[in-house]
Amino acid sequence: MTDITPEAQFDNFFALFEQPVQFEVNQDSLDQHLRLLQKRYHPDNVAKNQADIAQAQLQSEKYSALINQAYQTLRSPDSRASYLLDIADQAQNLEHSIADLDFLEDAMEMRMDLDDAIEGKDLPALQQLHPQITERLAKQSERFSHAYDSQDWQTAIDATQKLKFLVKLNADVTTGLDDVAAAAHSDDDDLYV
């Protein structure tokens, strides 16, 4: 990791994590840089370079918050896409509603299926939904990447809006899978009491 002034690093999340400014990121590199940055800006390390311990603590807390925000932004496809649009000064229409009725119908159907599967603790249904959601996430990620690279801002915005919905759906199905699996294992434990 190169040593550049914190101010130069913190104004661009990609530069902070030494990633190219593009949609695709290397998750392993991102994780590695997170650990290095956390170590570099740990209060003990920041205090070594400053006489005022209280000021060093405040500065360390500020840097830690920015590092965590940058990491969370870059690790998730929807927030990374939003950040890229913001950098390109194209994020102003992100809050508009999704106009693609076919996508909305499909997404609402998946949401209802997911809610039913979670409520019914239906592990096979959740296991069937997960790859469908993952596939749609990959499709919208690819769609965003191509649109961003070609500066097709309307398509990039549309893909980002859809990514936001799909990332939430994916998080919910993952949580549902974990909860239903944990509930199944806790029932098994009752047999041995």
33 or 41, higher pLDDT:
33
What pLDDT, on a 0 to 100 scale, did the predictor assign at position 95?
A: 86
- pLDDT over threshold 90, residue 108: yes
pTM for this predicted structure? 0.83
DSSP three-state, residue 69: helix
The predicted model gives 108-134 an average pLDDT of 95
Which tens digits make up the pLDDT trace of 57-90?
A: 788 888 888 999 999 999 999 999 999 999 999 9
When computed from its CA atoms, the radius of gyration of the chain, rounded to whole angstroms, is: 21
Q: Residue 11 contacts by C-beta under 8 Å, 6 or more apart in sequence? A: none
What pLDDT, on a 0 to 100 scale, did the predictor assign at position 51?
A: 61
Which tens digits make up the pLDDT trace of 17-30?
A: 999 999 999 999 99
Q: How far apart are CA 105 and CA 28, in angstroms?
A: 36
Which tens digits make up the pLDDT trace of 128-151?
A: 999 999 999 999 999 999 999 999
91 or 189, higher pLDDT:
91
What pLDDT, on a 0 to 100 scale, did the predictor assign at position 94?
A: 87
Long-range contacts of 173-180 (CB under 8 A, 24+ apart): 173/114, 173/126, 173/129, 173/130, 173/133, 174/130, 176/114, 176/117, 176/118, 176/126, 177/123, 177/126, 177/127, 177/130, 179/118, 180/118, 180/121, 180/122, 180/123, 180/126
Q: Where are the beta strands (DSSP E) in 39-132?
A: none
Positive or negative, the CA dihedral 148, 149, 155, 161 is negative
**pLDDT > 90 in the chain, percent:** 68
Binned at pLDDT 50, 70 and 90, residue 53 comes out as confident
- pLDDT over threshold 80, residue 92: yes
- pLDDT over threshold 70, residue 50: no
Binned at pLDDT 50, 70 and 90, residue 5 comes out as very low
**pLDDT > 70 in the chain, percent:** 87
- pLDDT over threshold 80, residue 106: yes
